Amino acid sequence: MNTQKILVFFLPVIFFLSLISSHAQNSSLNSIDVVGTSYGWIVGNNGIILYTTDGGINWQKQISGTVNNLLSVDFIDNHTGWAIGQAGIILHTTDGGGTWVYQNSGISSSLISVMFLDKNNGWSVGYEGIILHTTDGGNNWQIQISDISDVLNGVSFVDNLNGWIVGCWPWPAFNRRIILKTTDGGVNWQYMDAGFTGALYDVCFTSILTGYLVGYGSTIISTNDGGSNWTIKTLGEANHSLRGVCFLDDNNGWIVGDMGMIFHTTDGGNTWNKQYGFGGSHDDIKFMDPMHGFIVYSAGGTDGRILHTDDGGNNWSLVYSSTSAGLRSNIIPTEYLLYQNYPNPFNSSTTIKYTVSEFTEITLEVFDLFGRQVDILVKEDKPPGIYEVEFDGSLFSSGIYYYCLKTPTYSKTNKMLLIK
């Protein structure tokens, strides 16, 4: 047997399978946009698109038609939106995401941020200083010239003429800030100096005069005169970054960043109050109204999660986790509960529901009538939430089985009957 040929054949296969495995496991969520108090969309790695039509109570997946990482999403109403990302991909929908179609960006560099003012006028920015502009809803995209070849992370326009872009030098010099301003719709871009040298990751202007930039060093930079003068504040630890900023009006705003940082202002940024969510790098934040908002972030670099608040950010709850199968509610339980399976008796499969009241290790096991373990349904750390998991009994014989939920402080066992 020629073992050398066999090894040569299997190495590419193993490498290919490892790529598929790592590709499938990375479910980071990167950007969110909301419309009104009911509709929202989230995009992430591997072409993930999630949407809600009930104010975030339930999130469902949409088919994007791509496995490229999607980095930003923007909707102008509950029908019309765009998603952009890796390798210059631009997706467009006119039916709320029921179908997504490709638009030709004309570039291969990754796009990082997108913003539309209406169904026709929009901009997208990204790597290598790329600035794209459309006046026909993305059917045609034109490159605007800025004389910048660095990474552009965020774009904000208040009308067809006045807009701002922020960014940084590419790796390894991410500590260099980029601020661009236009007053003619992007025909000309002016390089601005805010007296800050760190990388900038997001920008939000609420009017021609008032705007906020966030970036490295837990820094927020604000202006009340269109950028002629800037105020610099540090809100967190100096070696962390603020990554997302959202303002509903001139007064009410939120900022998120590394290490679970959340800050809220009700006076236009004069004072910022710290709010508490979960750990991880909080990447983007959007509010539907002063009470209801969402944060998207990644835990461990791969687990995409959604946080929700219904009291302006005083309390945040986890409503979605890409690695926690069955997380289905934005209600935080106050106790552990193990429900009776349904249906019961059952033929082949049944659903088991349970609640978790705090972040802890969860084990859910199935035993036969003699106490022998026959299946492990769950064995992992889980955040607070209401969960459902399916038990597949197709390989087991008819009879009585027991399922047991265990935590370090709780244990409960229920009986179920399999009939074939």
Contacts 24+ apart (CB under 8 A), 315-321: 316/262, 316/275, 316/276, 316/277, 316/278, 317/384, 318/278, 318/383, 318/384, 318/385, 319/56, 319/59, 319/385, 320/50, 320/59, 321/383, 321/385
Mean pLDDT of 231-238: 82
Mean pLDDT of 134-143: 98
Q: Give me the chain's average pLDDT, please.
A: 87
Mean pLDDT of 220-234: 93
Pairing of strands 190-191, 385-392: unpaired
Core vs surface per residue 393-412: b (16+ CB within 10 A) or e: beebeeeebebebbbeeeee
Residue 256 has pLDDT above 80, yes or no: yes
Condensed to tens digits (0 to 9), the pLDDT of residues 263-290 reads 999 999 999 999 976 777 899 999 999 9
Residue 158 has pLDDT above 50, yes or no: yes
Alpha carbon 77 to chain centroid, angstroms: 20
pLDDT of residue 303: 79
Q: Considering the chain, what percentage of its residues have pLDDT values greater than 90?
A: 64
Residue 410 has pLDDT above 50, yes or no: yes
Residue 75 has pLDDT above 80, yes or no: yes
Residue 24 has pLDDT above 70, yes or no: no
- Residue 10 pLDDT class (50, 70, 90 cuts): very low
Condensed to tens digits (0 to 9), the pLDDT of residues 291-312 reads 999 999 887 667 788 988 889 9
This prediction has a pTM of: 0.74
Residue 109 has pLDDT above 50, yes or no: yes
pLDDT of residue 268: 93
Domains, the chain: 29-321 (2.130.10.10), 337-418 (2.60.40.1930)
pLDDT of residue 294: 96
Condensed to tens digits (0 to 9), the pLDDT of residues 95-107 reads 999 999 999 999 9
Q: Considering the chain, what percentage of its residues have pLDDT values greater than 70?
A: 89
